[in-house]
Amino acid sequence: MRECQWKHRLDLVTLVATRGRDFPLAMLSQRMRCPVCGSRRVAIAYLPKSAPRAMTMERGPKW
3-state secondary structure the chain: CCCCCCCCCCCHHHHHHHHCCCCCHHHHHHHCCCCCCCCCCCCCCCCCCCCCCCCCCCCCCCC
Q: Is residue 41 part of a domain?
A: yes
Of 61 and 41, the one with more pLDDT? 41
Q: Average pLDDT of 38-42?
A: 91
pLDDT class of 34 with cuts at 50, 70, 90 = very high
Q: What is the pLDDT of residue 22?
A: 93
Q: Is residue 20 part of a domain?
A: yes
- Rounded percentage of the chain residues whose pLDDT exceeds 90: 27
Contact 16, 47 (CB under 8 A): no
pLDDT class of 33 with cuts at 50, 70, 90 = very high
Q: Is residue 43 part of a domain?
A: yes
Q: Is residue 16 part of a domain?
A: yes
Contact 22, 30 (CB under 8 A): no
Q: Is residue 55 part of a domain?
A: no
Q: Is residue 18 part of a domain?
A: yes
pTM assigned to the model: 0.57
Q: Domain span at residue 40?
A: 1-47
Q: Of 2, 50, 53, 31, which is closest to residue 10 (Cα–Cα)?
A: 31
Q: Is residue 57 part of a domain?
A: no
Total structural domains within the chain: 1
